[in-house]
A = this chain, B = another copy of it.
Amino acid sequence: MIRFYNGRVLRFGGGMRVTQDEVWTEGGEIRYVGETPETLPAFDRQIDLKGDLLLPGFKNAHTHTAMTFLRSYADDMPLQDWLYKQVFPHEAKLTPDMVYTFTRLGILEYLSSGITASFDMYVKNDAYAAANIDSGFRTVICSGLNNFDADPENIEREYLKFNALHELVSYQLGIHAEYTTGMERMRYAVELAHKYKAPCYAHLCETKAEVQDCIERCGMTPPQLLDSIGFFDYGGGGFHCVWMSREDIALFARRKLWAVTNPCSNLKLASGIAPLDELAAAGVPLAIGTDGAASNNALDFFREMYLASTLQKVTREDAAAGGADRVLEMACVGGARAIGLRDCDDIAPGKRADLTVLNLRRPNMQPLHNILRNIVYAGSKENVRLTMVNGRVLYEDGEFFIGEEPEKLYEQANTACRRCFS
C-alpha cells in the first residue's frame, strides 16, 4: 500500500472541492480517502505531500501518440497540405518498431505533464499497445477506419482483441473522418457499433473547408451525416468540433455526444477556435486532447487547459467566459468518461489509482488565493511532481520509471527518424 498524506486532494464526486484528506492506494486501486485514522496499517511507501495537491490525472482524450516523430518537422502549413503532403507520405514508412519507439517517447511527455491516459487513433496498434503496456501507461485505442486501410474488417478483430488483452488497454470504435472514409466503410463501422452497442468517434468539424465540402457533397454537416447513418446510436463523440452549427450543437447535446477540444492544434494549423461556452451551455459533455505532436507541437495539458479557458474569453469578448473550474473538470473527469474509463474519473475508494501530484511550492503557484485557478491560469509542467498510473509511480521529481532510460529512447527515436526521412 502507498500512502499520500499531509497535503490537499482535489475531489469531484459530491461537488468539486479541495480537501485535506489522505489517500491510500493498493495495487492499481484507491483503497481509502479520508482523515488520518488513529492507527495506521503497514505501508510499502509513504509520500509526504508537503501541502501539494493530489488530483485525478489528466485524460488526454484525443491523441496520435506516435506522431512525436513529426514534431517540428512540417510546421507552418495548412491542414490539408500538412496531412496529404507531409503526414501521410511519412506515415507510410513507419514500421511497428518505429511506432513502438515514438509511442514511448510520447508517453514520457504525457507523464511529465500529469497525463495518466490517452485516447489514441493511429496505426500499427499491436506495437502501440505493447509500448503502453511495457511503459505501464493506460490507453484507449480508437479505430481510425479510412479508405487507405487494406482490410476494414480488421477493426472488429482489433475490437475483440484489444478489449481482452490487458487491464491497461481498451478499444473503441471510430473512423478517421467522413472525408477520408467512404460511405460503405462508414456503414461498416455503424454495423459494428450496433452489433456491440458501442459508441463511435470521428474527427469532425475541424476546419471550415471540411464542413463546406461535406455540405456540398451530401447536403449535411459532418455530424448530421454521421448521425443520419446511425453512427451515434450508442453514443460517442467528435474530435475538434470547431465549426459546429447550432444544429450540430443541439444534436451533440441531445445524444450526449462528447466534444473533445484540441485548442493548441487548432491554433497551430489555423483551423479556428471551438465554441466551448456554447457547447457547455447547450449541455454537450466536454473533454480535452492534445492531438498529435505533429500539429501541436507539445503534449502539454497545462497549455491546453489554459487555452480551453482563455480562448473563450477573447473570442466572446468576455473575460468571464471559459471558467477555470469547468476546464479542470473536463481534464480530470470529462476525459475519463468520454473514452470509457469510468473508474478513472475521481479520487474515491474503488477508483483506479491514476493520480497526479502538483507541486504548489513553485513560484507560479504562489500566493495561494485560489489553487484551482492557479493551475489553469498559471500551471506548467514544472508543477508536476509525480504521476501514477494504475497504482505505479511512473514519473517523480523529473525522473521516469517506464522500464527504459529516456536517453536511450531519444537515441532510438532520432535513429528511426533518419530512416523514416531518408
What residues make up the interface of A, taking CB atoms closer than 8 Å to B? Answer: 68-69, 71-73, 75-79, 82, 105-106, 108-109, 112, 264, 266-273, 293, 296-300, 302-303, 306-307, 310-311, 313-314, 316-321, 323-324, 361-364, 366-370, 373-374, 377-382, 398, 406-407, 409-410, 413-414, 417
- Cα distance A366–B400 in the bound complex, in angstroms: 15
How many angstroms from the CA of A370 to the CA of B76 in the assembled complex? 13
A378 CB contact (under 8 Å) in B72, B77, B317: B72
Contact sample, A vs B, 21 pairs, CB 8 Å cutoff? A72-B369, A72-B378, A75-B370, A76-B319, A76-B320, A77-B320, A112-B364, A112-B382, A266-B314, A269-B313, A270-B318, A297-B374, A298-B379, A300-B364, A361-B406, A361-B410, A363-B406, A366-B413, A369-B417, A380-B380, A380-B382
The docked-state distance in angstroms from the alpha carbon of A311 to that of B270 is: 8
Closest to A323 in B: B76
Mostly, the A contact residues are helix
Q: With a CB–CB cut-off of 8 A, which chain B residues contact A300?
A: 364, 378, 380
Contact among B270, B311, B324, B373 for A321, CB-based, below 8 A: B270
Identical copies in the complex:
2
A268 pairs with B377, CB closer than 8 A: yes
Q: Tell me whether A71 and B269 are in contact (CB under 8 A).
A: no
Given A112-B363, A314-B270, A363-B406 in contact, is the A297-B414 Cβ separation under 8 Å?
no
